[in-house]
């Protein structure tokens, strides 16, 4: 469903404005929205301008999911909080006779509070159920694909929405319950492994019950069990080196005592020979023990370096294997759902081996939702393998698409003691002061947490303001929120009061 939405800033407040046209706003639902009884809903007010009605939603300190998680995807904990907040707001709405299907579920209207991390929802009286399926599909792209738990939960949410047999609050409650249950079992297993390392014993049957449900998340436990063994071996080697050092010091001390005896006492010829022999043997043994201890210490250090290198290589190898598995199991690689029919035949649902791999990766929901999307992914992969080659009707002629001319440059700050340089080699690029949520951090109090974004479209560079407090300016003019403007070398860009030259 298309919504007539725009973003406005009035004095010191940001608003999302929904144009209702000539709709009757005397309905009790609009009165309930204005009363702000439901905490999880965005506060709003109804305004009439020239016989048209508008809903003004307050968006201070809020950013949409699309903007908040553009740089880093949602992890499992954030996804759990999303489902918890969604369930609660649906339950609160029912108490005030507001239908949960009136929630506008899009990437631009589901907001995140940047201060407390909670989610806020936009309510528009009416039936907006059809938006949820699109939102669920887009959510799979916004999760952190390095977090298997978040990926699995996102695809399961997508499957439950497509089944269309549950209302939104039920789906959110089911997802919250499953993710909470798994988190508790995972934490319990972690504690079990720690207690096991410390000498506490648990029954074998209980550990099997916990680990059998989610075997993929316990691959590192064997390495944890090896740590006490490695530390004990290292302590033994250290004690051996200390013993050698002590022996060498004692030998040298005995030799020094022999020299002192020869100096202070008159010895017979036989005693002279014995004392000289003892002095020579003790000095030789002490120096030999000292050299041997030093050599052994260096060999242990070199071995530790080799072990660290092997460990790092093993970790990198595991990460690459996990990334390879994730890419194989990932189905929503692109938003383009145009699938070539002749190529998709090879990925039909009747392929039992392919179905088994889906179920292994995503659980029982794979057969109901992932198959058509895996067909789309396979089609996109085939296009990438061909190098974006377009085939004409003549099978003997291949026409290559013209390569895109990519523009890249830098933004250079003006008038600062320390020049700020923002490279545009990797786009999209989100700019702000909230570390961990943006790609480029500007630690300035006047910069918003998520301020603006640079992105490329059709070979051109664009700048968009993300609802910043102090504004984004292009060549002296302030940009409206969420309105992109094309920038070219020589343009002036101002973020709050920091001026940049693009070249």
Contact 116, 13 (CB under 8 A): no
Which tokens in the block code for residue 220? 């590192």
CA distance 453 to 444: 17
Residue 412 and residue 487: Cα distance in Å, rounded? 14
Secondary structure letter of residue 100 according to DSSP: G
Instruction: Count CB atoms within 10 A of the CB of residue 58.
Output: 16
Count of beta carbons in the 10 Å neighbourhood of residue 424: 18
Report yes or no: 453 and 70 within 8 Å, Cβ to Cβ. yes
List of residues 6+ apart from 334 with CB closer than 8 A: 376, 377, 380
pTM equals: 0.57
Bridge partners, 499 (sequence order): 414, 494
3-state secondary structure at position 442: coil
Collapsing DSSP to helix, strand or coil, 441 comes out as: strand
Which of 185, 186, 182, 178 has the alpha carbon at shortest distance from 87? 178
- In order of 81, 104, 182, 191, the CA distances from 61 in angstroms are 18, 19, 32, 38
- Per-residue pLDDT at 473: 96
Give me the pLDDT at residue 216, please.
39
Q: Cα–Cα distances in Å, from 23 out to 41, 45, 48, 100, 108? A: 21, 15, 11, 20, 23
Q: How far apart are CA 42 and CA 59, in angstroms?
A: 7
Given its phi and psi angles, is residue 128 left (phi above 0), alpha (psi -120 to 50 degrees) or beta? Answer: alpha
Separation CA 237–CA 286 (nearest Å): 19
pLDDT at 36: 77
Q: Residue 398: enclosing H or E segment and its boundaries? A: strand 398-400
Per-residue CA distances from 417 to 196, 336, 409, 414, 499 (Å): 56, 46, 22, 9, 13
Cβ of 279: how many Cβ atoms within 10 Å? 18
pLDDT by 10s per residue, the chain, length 503: 678 889 998 877 899 999 988 888 888 888 888 887 788 999 999 998 888 899 999 999 999 999 999 988 999 999 999 999 999 999 999 888 888 889 999 999 999 999 999 999 999 988 777 788 899 999 999 999 999 999 999 999 988 888 866 688 999 999 999 888 877 766 666 666 655 555 444 433 333 333 333 433 333 334 444 445 555 566 667 777 788 888 888 888 888 888 888 888 888 888 888 888 888 888 888 888 888 888 888 878 777 776 767 666 766 676 667 666 666 555 444 444 444 444 444 444 444 444 444 444 444 444 444 455 555 555 555 555 555 444 444 455 665 554 444 456 899 999 898 999 999 999 999 999 999 899 999 999 999 999 999 999 998 999 999 999 999 999 999 999 999 999 999 999 999 999 999 99
Q: Could you tell me the end-to-end alpha-carbon distance of the chain, in angstroms, rounded to an integer?
A: 40
Residues near 120 by Cβ (< 8 Å), separated by ≥ 6? 40, 41, 42, 62, 110, 111, 112, 113
Contacts (Cβ under 8 Å, ≥6 apart) of 501: 411, 412, 414, 490, 491, 492, 493
| Of the candidates 132, 70, 67, the residue with the CA atom closest to the CA atom of residue 106 | 132
């Amino acid at each position: 469903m298309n919504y007539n939405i725009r973003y406005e800033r009035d004095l010191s407040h940001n608003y999302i404005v929904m144009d209702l046209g000539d709709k009757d706003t005397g309905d009790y639902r609009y009165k309930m929205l204005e009363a702000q009884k439901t905490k999880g809903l965005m506060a709003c007010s109804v305004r009439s301008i020239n016989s048209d009605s508008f809903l003004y939603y307050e968006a201070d300190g809020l950013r949409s999911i699309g903007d908040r998680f553009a740089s880093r995807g949602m992890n499992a904990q954030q996804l759990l909080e999303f489902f918890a907040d969604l369930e609660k707001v649906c339950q609160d709405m029912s108490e005030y006779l507001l239908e949960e299907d009136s929630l506008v579920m899009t990437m631009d209207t589901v907001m995140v509070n940047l201060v407390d991390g909670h989610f806020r929802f936009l309510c528009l009286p009416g039936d907006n159920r059809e938006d949820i399926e699109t939102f669920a599909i887009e959510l799979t792209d916004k999760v952190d694909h390095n977090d298997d738990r978040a990926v699995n939960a996102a695809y399961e949410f997508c499957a439950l929405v497509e089944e269309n047999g549950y209302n939104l609050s039920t789906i959110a409650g089911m997802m919250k319950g499953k993710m909470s249950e798994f988190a508790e079992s995972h934490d319990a297993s972690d504690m079990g492994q720690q207690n096991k390392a410390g000498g506490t014993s648990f029954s074998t049957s209980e550990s099997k019950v916990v680990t059998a449900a989610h075997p993929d998340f316990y691959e590192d436990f064997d390495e944890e069990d090896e740590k006490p063994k490695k530390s004990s071996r290292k302590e033994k080697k250290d004690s051996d080196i200390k013993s050698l050092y002590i022996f060498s010091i004692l030998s040298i001390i005995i030799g020094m005592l022999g020299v002192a005896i020869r100096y202070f006492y008159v010895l017979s010829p036989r005693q002279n020979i014995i004392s000289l022999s003892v002095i020579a043997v003790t000095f030789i043994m002490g120096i030999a023990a000292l050299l041997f201890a030093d050599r052994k210490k260096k060999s242990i250090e070199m071995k530790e370096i080799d072990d660290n290198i092997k460990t790092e290589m093993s970790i990198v190898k595991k990460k690459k294997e996990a990334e390879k598995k994730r890419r194989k199991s990932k189905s929503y690689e692109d938003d383009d759902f145009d699938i070539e029919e002749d190529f998709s035949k090879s990925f039909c649902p009747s392929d039992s081996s392919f179905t088994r791999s889906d179920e292994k990766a995503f659980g029982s929901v794979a057969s109901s939702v992932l198959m058509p999307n895996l067909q789309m992914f396979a089609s996109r992969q085939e296009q990438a393998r061909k190098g974006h080659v377009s085939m004409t009707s003549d099978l003997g002629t291949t026409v290559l698409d013209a390569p895109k001319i990519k523009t890249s440059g830098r933004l250079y700050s003006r008038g600062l003691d320390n020049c700020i340089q923002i490279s545009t080699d990797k786009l999209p690029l989100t700019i702000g002061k909230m570390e961990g949520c943006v790609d480029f951090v500007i630690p300035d109090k006047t910069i918003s947490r998520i301020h603006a974004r640079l992105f490329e479209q059709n070979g051109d560079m664009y700048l968009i303001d993300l609802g910043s407090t102090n504004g984004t300016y292009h060549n002296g003019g302030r940009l409206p929120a969420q309105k992109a403007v094309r920038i070219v070398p020589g343009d002036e860009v101002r973020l709050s009061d920091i001026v940049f030259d693009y070249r």
